[in-house]
Amino acid sequence: MAEATVLVVGGGGREHALTMGLVASPSVGEVHVAPGNAGTSLVATNHPFSAGDVESLVGLAQSLGCDLVVVGPEGPLVDGLADKLTAAGIPCFGPHAEGAQLEGSKLYAKQTMQNLGIPTAGIHNINSPSQIDSALDDFAPPWVVKRDVLAGGKGVVVTSDRKEASQALSDGLQADGFVLLEEFLSGEEASMLIMLDESGWVALPASQDHKRVGEGDTGPNTGGMGAYAPAPVVTDEVREKVYSRIVEPMHTWLRSQDSLYRGCLYVGLMIDESGDPYVVEYNVRFGDPETQVTIPLISSDLYELLFSVASGEVGSHSPEFTDSSALTVVLAAEGYPDSPRKGLPISIDVAMIANADGGAFIHHAGTKHEIGGELVSSGGRVLACTGIGPNLDEARNLAYSLMDGIILEGSHYRSDIGFRAL
């Protein structure tokens, strides 16, 4: 088999994890990333095209003779990148624009779930200020306010303060013309990444993200401060409920549509005290930082898995997984998630990585090399330290030991990633 040429679209930690997995694939000869980051530049070829520049990305894939394009972020999918690549005869891992509305519009996703009988929270679609008080009366606090926009995991307000909830609803209404008030679901969160096409689906190991910026899940929501996998809250019993009540109905519906869904379906779950799962949200791409802890647990060829999805043949594919655990800790810039400082030098103790002996590594996200080669911060979530071990405790120790060797002025990270399972 000829060695494949792959283009990864995006520039965060998720894309670095995917790039590392593809570089390690015996089926792959070249990996290109657009735009990438400082980490992807060390193992692949970066190209200076924004993930939102759909036309240039299609042209780049054509010029490189790509056998597969793997799309990381949701924005280009919503904007029709997969549609244009497919029209150009290039296999794409990532759904078409219609399928991407499961993430592009929270209202569309919620209505789809309700139509299919998939367990999820109740919701009010508020399009007038006069509806706010009665909607708040209808749900017990805390209230969940969601804007129907792509917000990188940060377009949600959860509060027990009625005044704050009312203000968030008013702000969303003013910004977008409508806003969603959702019933609060109690329990423990988990994430499942489903590789899905019309032929079938494959589930990756369940993970748990830590969305709040502060210790003990306090403070505002972020894009994710860390994650671990597998998540013990997803027992065999819970997993079967997720498959039968959530994944199967959605898969049956998706494969009945005119446009074929081929990509990752991210299922954000809330598992109640009875072990019953509810959908918090669907995303149409790999999660970040969940990708950083699930991709390393795939022991079989990553390219073969992703290509089988892009070709509509995942139903006949059986990926293999390790028995290890993985945990990642995100290093965030000063001021994140509100106004992160950028352009500061990053010092990494290379010896720490060498001493980890392959059991720990850095996933770059908001990083770049200045002219002259200096590594500097360029985003809110700067990088993540990931540990792989025979159990979660050892994976955690490896990740935090690696974090000890990194210096970035004013940066912060959570010291309790994995606390629900340890």
Give pLDDT tens digits for 143-193.
Answer: 999 888 765 555 688 899 999 999 999 998 888 888 999 999 999 999 999
Q: Of residues 258 and 153, which shows the higher confidence score?
A: 258
Structure tokens at 87: 């029209």
pLDDT tens by residue, 240-252? 999 999 999 999 9
Cβ atoms 108, 102 nearer than 8 A: yes
Burial (CB count within 10 angstroms: exposed 0-12, middle 13-18, buried 19+), residue 228: buried
Task: Give the whole-angstrom CA distance, residue 376 versus residue 401.
Answer: 21
Q: Of residues 351 and 207, which shows the higher confidence score?
A: 207
| DSSP conformation class of 297 | G
Task: Give the whole-angstrom CA distance, residue 275 versus residue 171.
Answer: 35
Cβ atoms 336, 365 nearer than 8 A: no
**Average predicted confidence (pLDDT) for the chain:** 94
Task: Give the whole-angstrom CA distance, residue 268 versus residue 283.
Answer: 8
Task: Give the whole-angstrom CA distance, residue 3 versus residue 125.
Answer: 50
Q: Is 407 helix (H, G, I), strand (E, B) or coil?
A: strand
Structure tokens at 264: 């990752």
Q: How confident is the model at residue 404 (pLDDT cuts 50, 70, 90)?
A: very high
Q: What angle do CA 169, 227, 73 make, to 5 degrees?
A: 65
pLDDT tens by residue, 360-395? 999 999 999 998 899 999 999 999 999 999 999 999
Structure tokens at 147: 């804007």
Number of helices (H), then strands (E), in the chain: 15, 24
Helix (H) or strand (E) holding 166: helix 162-176
Q: What percent of the chain has a predicted confidence (pLDDT) above 70?
A: 97
Q: Residue 45: which of 60, 55, 62, 25 has the closest Cα?
A: 60
Task: Give the whole-angstrom CA distance, residue 142 versus residue 65.
Answer: 52
- Strand-pair partners of 328: 227, 386
Q: What is the pLDDT of residue 2?
A: 67
- The DSSP secondary structure of 190-257, one letter per residue, reads EEEEEEEETTEEEEPPPBEE--EEETTTEEEE-S-SEEEES-TTS-HHHHHHHIIIIIHHHHHHHHTS
Number of C-beta neighbours around residue 281 at 10 A:
22
- In the chain, the N- to C-terminal Cα span, in Å, equals 44
Cis preceding linkage at 345, omega within 30 = no
Q: What is the pLDDT of residue 345?
A: 97
Q: What is the pLDDT of residue 20?
A: 97
Cβ atoms 290, 229 nearer than 8 A: yes
Structure tokens at 309: 């999805």
Q: What is the pLDDT of residue 153?
A: 53
Size of the chain, expressed as the number of residues it contains? 422
Q: How confident is the model at residue 200 (pLDDT cuts 50, 70, 90)?
A: very high
Q: Residue 337: which of 73, 174, 155 has the closest Cα?
A: 155
Q: What percent of the chain has a predicted confidence (pLDDT) above 90?
A: 88
Q: Is 97 helix (H, G, I), strand (E, B) or coil?
A: helix
pTM (2 d.p.): 0.93
* Radius of gyration, CA atoms only, the chain: 21
Structure tokens at 162: 């009625």
Compute the average pLDDT of residues 93-98.
96
Task: Walk me through the domains of the chain, giving residue ranges and CATH numbers.
Answer: 4-97 (3.40.50.20), 123-182 (3.30.1490.20), 186-316 (3.30.470.20), 325-407 (3.90.600.10)
